[in-house]
Chains A and B, each alone.
Chain A
Amino acid sequence: METIVYTCPYVPAEWIAAHGLRASRLLLDQVDSAAMFIRTEGVCPFVRSFISEAMRNKDAGGVVVTTMCDQMRRAFDILERKCELPAFLMNVPNTWQSSESQKLYIDELKRLGRFLVRLGGKSPSNDALAKIMLEYDATRATILTAREYLSARKYAEAIAAFGRDGPDQTINHVTDTELQTDGVPLAVVGGPLMKQDFTLFDTIEQSGGRIVLDATETGERGICGPFDRRRIHDDPLLELADAYFGGIQDASRRPNSELYKWLQRELASREVQGIVFHRYLWCDMWHAELRRLKDWTNLPVLDIDTAGDNETGEYRTANRIRAFLEMLQ
């Protein structure tokens, strides 16, 4: 079975799986800028790593890129010229309030479907799509429940494993019960994390904190809303689009007011006492939100910026987190 790789949360794994292909959301490795084949100045480390992974990947059958940010959109240009994997660029509208934007998203899913068929996939029936959606929905619900008994890192890893492997193999990641540690309840907010960034959870725990809300793109914030079972049977594609396009809030949306509504609700319900804001150098979308978030919330906010490629940065981050938590304890 061909594997289709992607990173964007607005790409529904169910849609790829329903075409008989394996959907795998990449958890990227950081790439040393010196080892990169492209000029790295001004390039977001996440995009840099994505390009590098797509170029090196010999196992996948195709890669899906989205227009969620400009640098990713331009990364597609590089892949189109240099990468052997068949690549697909999906338009994900930034605006969301008009019915035309929602329709554009659905049309793009249909176009993605045609790309998947060209790669050997089969166009799914409504029943087949509905069945897969229910399967994914059930596993997602299991993972969300596991937050109560998993450490923040294990929880993040379970979400990542679900994205990477799909529902079949994810369940192993959520069965190991662990005692929830004490500590100052914190949220981590930002774009996607890379593999090495998961040490952030350990560092926070070792410093006396505890992540109770993973509002990164690779965390809970990047998980689509639950499906409406009745609507799944009426029109599964429409329900899929609603849950993803309507259910995932991001800084790139215009306006992005819903992101703040989501944060307000989640921060309050989990009694968060501080926010760790994680962003990559050259990521304009999240960088621009930092000061706004600070103005908007009464909670203390710690800015963790990373170039993603050196150890000094890790030590600096650890020190900043320790200082932040000393102040909160």
Chain B
Amino acid sequence: MPKQITLEEWDLRYAKLQKAGTHQPDYGGPLSRHVEDGDQRLLKLRYDNSAAALRLWNFLLTEEDRLHDARKAGRKIVGTMKDLGTVPVMAYCFENIVAFYPDGAWWIPCVMELGAGLLEIADSFGIDESFCPVRAMLGAFVTGAHFPIPDMLICSVGATCDDFSAIAQRLNGLGHPIFWWEIPHRRNPEPDEPAVNLPGGFSAPKCQVEFVKSQLERVKTTLEELAGEKLDEQKLVAGIQKANEVRRLLAELRHLAFTAEWCPLPALEMLIAEMLAIHFCSDRQETINVLKELLDEVTSRVRDGKGILDADAARIFWVNPVADLQVMNLLEDCGGRICGTEYLFTHALDEIPEDLPPLEALAQMALADPMAGSSIDRARRICSDISLFGAEAVLISRIPGASHCALEGRIISEIVQEKLEIPVLEIEVPPVTDSMRPTLCTRLQALVETVKARSHKQQRKRRR
């Protein structure tokens, strides 16, 4: 029976699965072993009890080992910063390059419950708590203890958040060379200006697509120099097809998870599954395998009418990723479920056009980044996804200190309410929320109660 279990319960279940001969990949094992590495937050989370979820978690928590193995094997490690899903597609086309996402270090303070001291290190380099928790990345580079220092860093700037841009520049100033590429603010085409419809529904002037393409040409050249290998169109097309395989699996998974009557997979596992699209967690093929198993599990649960939450759970659309993973559990504790997400990387979930020259297709993807355009565009995409998944309320999760969060929440909230007339709530989630759990709980409960009250009212109206 699908349910959410604790880490302790997972160890008992792991022993049973092993006895039953359940196949585990080479990085498999009991989840509790990761606590020995300092990942204390794992003790406080609740997990899906399927073998597919076990594989997902083990895949996520062994990325550092994979990176070290890649280095030992002589492969080049490229840190792809900020673009959230575009450059990794290109990087994985090279045999001897592994791309990873240093920005992901923003979850280390949460997972290690501040035990790694990365935020204190960032403080000591002048990047204090007025910056987004992604400042943990700076600490991770200084200690060199959480991932091997990459052979190359590639970072997109321009229409990005100031926090990351400033922190990346600080990193650069500390002696880590960075290859910068520009992503301009996506604007609406002017009347009579040639325009392009981007994946995901946005549009942009053709000249902006061409500009981004020229930037990606530069990225391609620098990757070729690092790899000592030419990246021809055929290889790039193959890389795009593989990325699309990941994206199609995720699209199916998202559709099932967000629209099924009984929620078939918890919010936390869904968040991690979506994150795999950004850089494939340093192994593209294994990402596909992990997602396939997860999709099989979810498909069978939906077919059998099984889920992990009550059928009347309030259907919430979640905006922005959370710095504390436990908050995803908290929403479910409060009677909600996730029915739609916009974790800042919807462009990494939309399929890359395969009928275009590959670099142009990637340029379109990069420009489709919700953060590259206006908050108004982003709000419209959120509205369209809400209609698709049937969410009944929106929760905007503010990232402490993040430059975009200061002004975007109000715009998104206003547009959602104007267009859809559903409740919107904004919360702020720091890396560890223990001290503010009661406050967060109260706010989430209030949202859930509002949704349920509205739902009952609508049901009564329909009966009349």
Interface positions of A (Cβ within 8 A of B): 38-39, 41-44, 47, 67, 69-71, 73-78, 80-81, 89, 91, 93-95, 98, 100-101, 104, 107, 111, 114, 251-252, 254-256, 281-285, 287-292, 294-295
Contacts and interface: CB of A to CB of B under 8 A. Distances in A.
A301 to B, nearest CB: 11
B163 to A, nearest CB: 5
Interface in B151-203: 155, 157-163, 165-170, 172-173, 178, 180-182, 184-185, 187, 190
B403 interface: yes
Nearest to A115: B190
Given A91-B187, A285-B162, A107 B207 contact: yes
Interface in B363-381: 374-376
A64 to B, nearest CB: 14
Contacts of B169: 251, 254-256, 288
Candidate in B180, B218, B406 with the most chain A CB atoms within 10 angstroms: B406
A111 B190 contact: yes
Contacts of B20: none
B404 interface: yes
Given A73-B185, A104-B184, 19 more contacts: A38-B410, A42-B401, A67-B158, A69-B403, A77-B374, A77-B408, A78-B411, A81-B376, A91-B158, A95-B157, A95-B181, A98-B215, A256-B169, A281-B130, A282-B401, A284-B131, A287-B130, A288-B127, A291-B125
B427 to A, nearest CB: 13
Interface in B122-140: 125-127, 130-131
20 contacts: A39-B409, A70-B165, A71-B162, A71-B403, A74-B407, A77-B374, A77-B407, A78-B410, A93-B182, A98-B215, A254-B157, A254-B169, A254-B178, A256-B169, A284-B162, A284-B403, A287-B130, A288-B167, A289-B166, A295-B173
Contact of B126 (A47, A98, A107, A291): A291
B441 interface: no
B407 A287 contact: no
B221 to A, nearest CB: 11
Contacts of A289: 166
A292 B182 contact: no
A189 to B, nearest CB: 14
A285 B406 contact: no
Closest 10 CB pairs of A and B: A291-B126, A42-B406, A288-B166, A284-B162, A70-B403, A74-B407, A70-B162, A94-B157, A254-B180, A284-B166
A80 B125 contact: no
A45 to B, nearest CB: 11
A75 B414 CA distance: 15
Interface in B107-132: 125-127, 130-131
A294 to B, nearest CB: 8
Most chain B CB within a 10 A radius of its CB, from A47, A77, A287, A289? A77
A74 B406 contact: yes
B185 A91 contact: yes
Contact of B182 (A41, A101, A114, A282): A101
A322 B159 CA distance: 40
Contact of A114 (B131, B165, B178, B190): B190
A67 B374 CA distance: 11
Contacts of A69: 162, 403
A289 B165 CA distance: 12
B211 interface: yes
B70 interface: no
B410 A39 contact: yes
B162 A95 contact: no
Contacts of A256: 169
A175 to B, nearest CB: 40
A288 B122 CA distance: 11
A78 B158 contact: no
Contacts of A94: 157-158, 165, 180, 182
A292 B126 contact: yes
Contacts of B402: 42
Contacts of A101: 182
B214 interface: yes
Contacts of B375: 74, 77
Interface string B199-230: 00000000100010011001000000000000
Contacts of B408: 74, 77
Contacts of A282: 130, 401, 403, 406
A88 to B, nearest CB: 10
Given A69-B162, A94-B157, A98-B218, A80 B401 contact: no
A123 to B, nearest CB: 15
B153 to A, nearest CB: 12
Contacts of B181: 95
Contacts of A91: 158, 184-185, 187
Given A94-B180, A284-B403, A70 B160 contact: yes
Contacts of A70: 160-162, 165, 403-404
Contacts of A76: 374
B405 interface: yes
Contacts of A251: 166, 169
A221 B160 CA distance: 24
Nearest to A93: B182
A120 B407 CA distance: 32
B406 A100 contact: no
Interface in B238-266: none
Given A284-B131, A288-B167, A290-B126, A43 B406 contact: yes
B131, B162, B165, B169: residue with the most chain A Cβ atoms closer than 10 Å = B162
A48 to B, nearest CB: 9
Contacts of B161: 70
A100 B180 CA distance: 13
Contacts of B157: 94-95, 254
A98 to B, nearest CB: 7
A70 B402 CA distance: 10
Given A42-B401, A284-B166, A78 B407 contact: yes
B192 to A, nearest CB: 10
A75 B376 contact: no
A67 B166 CA distance: 15
B184 A95 contact: no
Contacts of B411: 77-78, 81
A74 B403 CA distance: 9
Contacts of A104: 182, 184, 211
A70 B165 CA distance: 10
B285 to A, nearest CB: 34
A255 B403 contact: no
A89 B130 contact: no
Contacts of B207: 107
A80 B376 contact: yes
A282 B406 CA distance: 9
A160 to B, nearest CB: 25
Contacts of B374: 76-77, 80
Nearest to A76: B374
